[in-house]
Chain A
Amino acid sequence: MKHAPLLALLAGLSLAAGVHASAADHVHATHAWIRVLPGALPAGAYVTLENDGDQPVALTGASSRAYAQVMLHHSSTDGGVSRMTMVDSLPIPAHGEARLAPAGYHLMLMQPAATVKPGSTVRLLLKFSDGSTLSTDFIARPANALDDGSGHADHPSS
């Protein structure tokens, strides 16, 4: 038991030394966009995260200079009632993907530092369970947008 902190430190050092690549090294973000609402209303951010690693990873949240607070949320509809719940993490399976998309998982962006205009990009720092981070540019889209506007039909329908 006495050696536990030392072992943890060594494990940490080996991680830092790149013996094991961090979660962020294996995650690729695509279709990153934000639905901008008028005024200072909270916005939803969406992204597809692909994990090309052999180990599952988990998204635990995000931060941004453009918003005071970012929270990982999940929307659900049960018995005709829509509800949003905070979630601690979203798993991304090994060699798989997790999709943050409308009516499901999303990042709720609160209290914008300045007005975010559709067409601009907002940088978010995605955080993973191992402490690694991935800097990702999100395209700001108008309120009535349905997706990132890239028009790529490369998403399977389910």
Chain B
Amino acid sequence: MKSPWRRPLALLLLLAIGLLLAGCHHAAPLPFRLTNLTGHMPQLEFTLTNDEGKTVSATDYRGKVVLLYFGYTHCPDVCPLTMAHLHVVMQRLGKLADGARILFVSVDPARDTPAVLHAYVNAFDAHATGLTGQPRAIEALVKRYRSAFTREPASKDGGYEVSHSSAIYVFDRDGNPRVLYTPSSKQDDLVHDLHLLLDSGDPS
């Protein structure tokens, strides 16, 4: 299956598509396969703390295609599964993955310190960053994308679960929301759409 010509041919084809699109002055929308968010949601905006303990804002990630996911580290099943899937997606992107950043935003800031998040995201993929912060700042980001989370009642040992949106919001290099990936979406479609966003020219 892995013909040595596949990659150069694919690149040529994408280059041709890119030139065609550039000629259209953005009149032709990118042929996304996932739910298109273009123009339906506001630009990425937040001020949070990254997994190295530094204050960061959305503008620090301009120039990167951002995959935004809300989760929490005490979630043993769906969150790690989602992150493991994203790791596969990053591997499938090869070198292009360096132009992308997975932002894992904790909806459980009480337990998810930068140190916990750092170990967590790095167990999945080198392109992932964990973000935590003030509950109000996280809530504002969740609301901005009409996402939601609820803290379930605590069990007798003080542990608790969080119900949370399972979607991944994909932003282009300028911080504009472009597509939505949900558990029912196909991984191939996410790879396809990320190729469109990552191949569409360097921001420089």
B83 partner residues in chain A, CB cutoff 8 A:
143-144
A102 partner residues in chain B, CB cutoff 8 A:
77-78, 81
Contact A80 B166 (CB under 8 A): yes
Give Cα distance in the complex from A80 to B84, angstroms: 19
List A23-82 residues whose CB lies under 8 Å from chain B: 35, 37-39, 41-44, 69, 73, 75, 77, 80-82
Count of B interface residues, CB-CB < 8 Å: 33
Q: How far is the CB of B82 from chain A (nearest CB, A)?
A: 9
Contact A84 B87 (CB under 8 A): no
Count of A interface residues, CB-CB < 8 Å: 28
Q: What are 13 residue pairs bridging A and B, where the CB atoms are less than 8 Å apart in the complex?
A: A37-B73, A37-B80, A44-B76, A69-B157, A77-B78, A80-B166, A82-B164, A83-B163, A102-B77, A106-B77, A143-B80, A144-B80, A144-B84
List A100-153 residues whose CB lies under 8 Å from chain B: 102-103, 106, 108-110, 142-146
Give Cα distance in the complex from A77 to B165, angstroms: 9
Which residues of A pack against B, CB within 8 Å?
Answer: 35, 37-39, 41-44, 69, 73, 75, 77, 80-84, 102-103, 106, 108-110, 142-146
Contact B84 A143 (CB under 8 A): yes
Which among B81, B120, B157 is the interface contact of A41 at CB below 8 angstroms? B120
Contact A82 B120 (CB under 8 A): no
Residue of A nearest to B149 (CB): A81
Contact B159 A77 (CB under 8 A): no
- Given known pairs A41-B120, A143-B84, A144-B123, the reply for A35 and B163 (CB within 8 Å) is no
A-B pairs with beta carbons under 8 A, tally: 93
Give Cα distance in the complex from A121 to B73, angstroms: 23
B140-180 vs A, CB cutoff 8 Å, 1 = contact: the mask equals 00000000100010000101010111110000000000000
Q: Let me know if B183 is at the binding interface, CB within 8 A.
A: yes
Contact B80 A80 (CB under 8 A): no
Contact A41 B167 (CB under 8 A): no
B73 partner residues in chain A, CB cutoff 8 A:
37, 41
Which among A35, A37, A83 is the interface contact of B120 at CB below 8 angstroms? A37
